[in-house]
A = this chain, B = another copy of it.
Amino acid sequence: MENDKKFMFEAITLASRNACSSTGGPFGAVIVKEGEIVSSAVNSVTTDNDPTAHAEVNAIRAACKKLGTFDLTGCTLYSSCEPCPMCLSAAYWAHISKIFYAADRNQAERAGFSDAFIYDQFALPLGERSIPFEQIFNKEGVEPFDLWIDNESKIKY
């Protein structure tokens, strides 16, 4: 628990520094494996012109690059704020083993961020979401999956 506090303190310190420097949103994240920091990152959406450059996504990308893998099984994510739906899903795809967070989605909302709004969108049927959804070519859309299933040299993830 002392180590968990140390790593979370680092994530919050990164977030606070970013909040003051106008380099991106007030979020920080640290990824740890076997007691050692593998990567740490801040939100860089506005600096990188990349809406996906949240602290957690940046940290996941950096950790994968450093470890040479797309699978972070055994890694723990420390985030200064409850991961938004994008970052939570990224953690699932990366097979992160545990997530610590400090602030929550409602505290993020108070500071002007859409985390809680986007979470709420997930509970709605596709037709009721604020972004209009339309399905076309459903039959044709299955072809890539059939080709994938038949591809014997595919690399699964």
Are A145 and B50 interface neighbours, CB within 8 A? Answer: no
Q: How many residues of A are counted as interface, with CB atoms below 8 angstroms from the partner's CB atoms? A: 91
Contact status of A104 and B51, CB under 8 A, knowing A16-B147, A80-B144, A85-B85: no
A/B interface sample: 22 pairs, CB < 8 A: A4-B136, A8-B136, A19-B144, A19-B148, A20-B147, A22-B153, A26-B147, A46-B70, A52-B57, A85-B122, A88-B122, A89-B89, A92-B117, A96-B131, A97-B131, A98-B132, A101-B135, A102-B138, A103-B141, A104-B138, A107-B142, A112-B156
A155 contacts which chain B residues (CB < 8 A)? 22, 46
Are A147 and B19 interface neighbours, CB within 8 A? Answer: yes
Closest-by-CB residue of B relative to A95 is B51
For this chain, the copies found in one complex come to: 2
Mark A residues whose CB is within 8 Å of B.
4-5, 8-9, 12, 15-16, 18-20, 22, 25-28, 45-46, 48-52, 57, 60-61, 64-65, 68-72, 80-82, 84-86, 88-104, 107-108, 110-112, 114, 117-119, 121-123, 130-138, 140-145, 147-149, 151, 153-157
Kindly list 5 other residue pairs between chains A and B, CB separation below 8 angstroms, not including A18-B144, A51-B71, A52-B61. Answer: A19-B144, A51-B64, A86-B90, A92-B121, A101-B141
